[in-house]
A and B are shown apart, each in its own frame.
Chain A
Amino acid sequence: MDINALLLSGCFALYCISVALYIAHACLRWPRLYQLALGTVLLAFGCQSLSLGLRWFAAGYLPVTNLFSTLFFFSWALAATYVYFELRYRLASAGLFVMVLNLLLLYIALPRDPSPPALIPMLDTPLFTLHIAFSFLAYALFAMAFSLAVLFLIQRKTSVLPLPSSNLLKQLNEEAIFLGFCFFTLCMLLGSYWAYIAWGYYFSWDIKALWSALIWLYFAGMCHAKFIRHWQGTGYAWLSIFGFALVLFTYLGVGLLMKSSHPLA
């Protein structure tokens, strides 16, 4: 068994353990369990980062050119986002949902062929690496916003789970959307520049590019919605949920259901 496979299995197992520990913490509310869960997540994230680094070094480019590697990178970005929010705000059980989503992504990715395909010449540029990195970081932040929005709605209905205050959840949701929008803007700008030097135009009417522009517009609108009293709280939470549905469709739906000539569709 090579080191990469070992690291992959190791981080999957560690994420499973952390989810179990978070669930136990949600039920028993022992602070020790929470510390253990956070430690496990950090260890798993370390393994995943090392695995990503090794795969990057071996391939010579950021390996995000097949479904396994995009799912793996999405999972890594999600974990990075979670670690950021966790270390900054101590979300505790609020992070459970994101970790479950992360596990799901890894579960779908693991049975697939991890060997990266030969890089097509068009993708052999640092713009590709930056475009992809910002895109998945933005996707991960939108997923985080979705998770926080769901928790915000749950929090308003029940107080069974040890969740942060609705005010903090609202604030974190806004932060996730804002950061996601910033990263997605950079992703779009880099992608447009790349498209210009590769195809001679900076906006393509390809279906993936169209949906990406649509996501940018939607979240640009959302960044304005937080200034509207009527859209505060519940409204914003629902917008976050719908926004993540758009993101999921752009990431997976466009490639699976529609025909796109985008290099990463």
Chain B
Amino acid sequence: MFRQLWKLCCSAKATIILTSATTLIAIFGSAQIMLNPRLFNTMDSKPLLEWWHAYLPQASYYSLWIPLCSALILLLGLNTLCCFIDWICHLGSRWKTAGEYLIHFGFILVVIAYAWGSIYGMRSNNNSIAEGEVIAIPSQSGYFLRLNSFQPQLAPSGRPIDMLSNVTLLKGDHELKTTTIRFNHPLTHGDLIILARSYQQQAIGFRCSLNRQHVELKQGSTHLLPSGSRLNVVKFYPDIQRRGRNTAGNRTLRNPAFLVELSGPTQEKKSIWYVVRQGAPQLLLTAGFTPQRLTPLYKNYSQLAINRDPGAPLAAAGSIAMALGVLLCLRSFYAKRSRNSRIHLE
């Protein structure tokens, strides 16, 4: 009974049935992807299990092929594992097929790696970080990322060609790795991978001419006015909205405003709103604040993707095994052809 079951598990027929069934279900699945692009286009944004949990309520029917396909692949992995164990048990007489079984072994590792990554992995796509800033690595407590410098490379048309982000990975205060991330050159550390995704610019103030001097009005800047008063920029808002009182809008430059403090030798500190479109308020004008030729001042933010896939090193090992297997297979195939040896039929 056990011997028959083992024979079935190692059978090439079982492999054919499982690969054919998976192929057919994946064809059906691809049709579902085509018919429901909004739903399935998000699949790469999260690890498979997390995605399935997140979208199950709206995709229970359309996404049933995914667990079915996964189950078949796992069964195929099991079938491959049985074949591999069987081969190990008969290594003495079957060592010439090492190439084929290295491919089997590699496939098993890749299946385990993908399942592992799908369950315990993490994907975080939009991590905006400015030069000098430090952000915490999502789902990885104690790990931080610092952007040392950022340099977008633009084509004459303005299209970004590359984005060079010099970053340092930190564990607490300890620097683990410093590298420059650009397209096809991510930062990798264990199962962590950090990639350049995009970049954005955010207005942080205005450059202007003030009393015949070029100055930068931005958070923290201080300016001496002709009246002897001191102007301190407390905060800059790219988009201010007036709902009873001034509130911050979004990060795009629409209705910019400064919250400033005016202080002098004879006067107390006063907080004043300077909404750029409305011009400087009377109190600031009296103090001699007459900014001219205002141009926005931008700061670049690098947008990074931070992924963690605990199965990735195992998948790499599986890939190496498969590649070696292919090379050995090619060698043994031509050796067999030259010997004209026959293959064993089931």
Q: Which chain B positions have C-beta within 8 A of A221?
A: 15-16, 18-20, 23
Q: 1/0 contact trace for A209-220 toward B, CB 8 Å?
A: 011011001101
Chain B residues touching A, range: 35 or more
Q: 1/0 contact trace for B229-272 toward A, CB 8 Å?
A: 00000000000000000000000000000000000000000000
Q: Does A156 contact B (CB under 8 A)?
A: no
Task: Please give me the residue from chain A that is nearest to B194 by CB atom.
Answer: A200
Q: Which chain A positions have C-beta within 8 A of B183?
A: 121-122, 124, 198
Are the CB atoms of B323 and A189 closer together than 8 Å?
yes
Are the CB atoms of A204 and B344 closer together than 8 Å?
no
Task: Please give me the residue from chain A that is nearest to B47 by CB atom.
Answer: A201
Q: Among the listed A175, A178, A196, A214, which residue makes an inter-chain contact with B23, where contact means beta carbons less than 8 Å apart?
A: A214
Q: Does A258 contact B (CB under 8 A)?
A: yes
Give the contacts of B298-339 with A (CB-CB under 8 A).
305, 307, 309, 312, 315-316, 319, 322-323, 326, 329-330, 333, 337
Q: Among the listed B20, B26, B43, B319, which residue makes an inter-chain contact with A192, where contact means beta carbons less than 8 Å apart?
A: B319
Give the contacts of A163-220 with B (CB-CB under 8 A).
175, 178-179, 182, 185-186, 189, 192-194, 196-207, 210-211, 213-214, 217-218, 220
Are the CB atoms of B44 and A125 closer together than 8 Å?
no
Q: 1/0 contact trace for A35-77 toward B, CB 8 Å?
A: 0000000000000000000000000000000000000000000
Contacts A189-B323, A205-B44 known; A217 to B23 CB distance under 8 Å?
A: yes
Assembled-state Cα–Cα distance A178/B344 (Å): 16
Are the CB atoms of A197 and B333 closer together than 8 Å?
no
Give the contacts of B150-205 with A (CB-CB under 8 A).
161-162, 183-186, 193, 195
Interface of A is mostly: helix
Assembled-state Cα–Cα distance A125/B76 (Å): 33
Are the CB atoms of A205 and B40 closer together than 8 Å?
yes
Are the CB atoms of A227 and B322 closer together than 8 Å?
no
Contacts A207-B34, A228-B12 known; A217 to B19 CB distance under 8 Å?
A: yes
Chain A CB within 10 Å, residue with most, of B183, B312, B322: B183
Assembled-state Cα–Cα distance A211/B193 (Å): 26
Assembled-state Cα–Cα distance A125/B23 (Å): 31
A-B contact number at CB 8 A: 125
User: A-contacting residues of B (Cβ < 8 Å)?
Assistant: 12-13, 15-16, 18-20, 22-23, 26-27, 29-30, 33-34, 37, 40, 43-44, 76, 103, 114, 117, 123, 161-162, 183-186, 193, 195, 305, 307, 309, 312, 315-316, 319, 322-323, 326, 329-330, 333, 337, 343-346
Known: A192-B319, A200-B195, A229-B346. 17 other contacts (CB 8 A): A121-B184, A122-B183, A127-B184, A193-B316, A197-B185, A197-B193, A198-B183, A198-B184, A199-B44, A201-B309, A203-B114, A205-B44, A206-B44, A207-B33, A214-B27, A214-B30, A228-B16
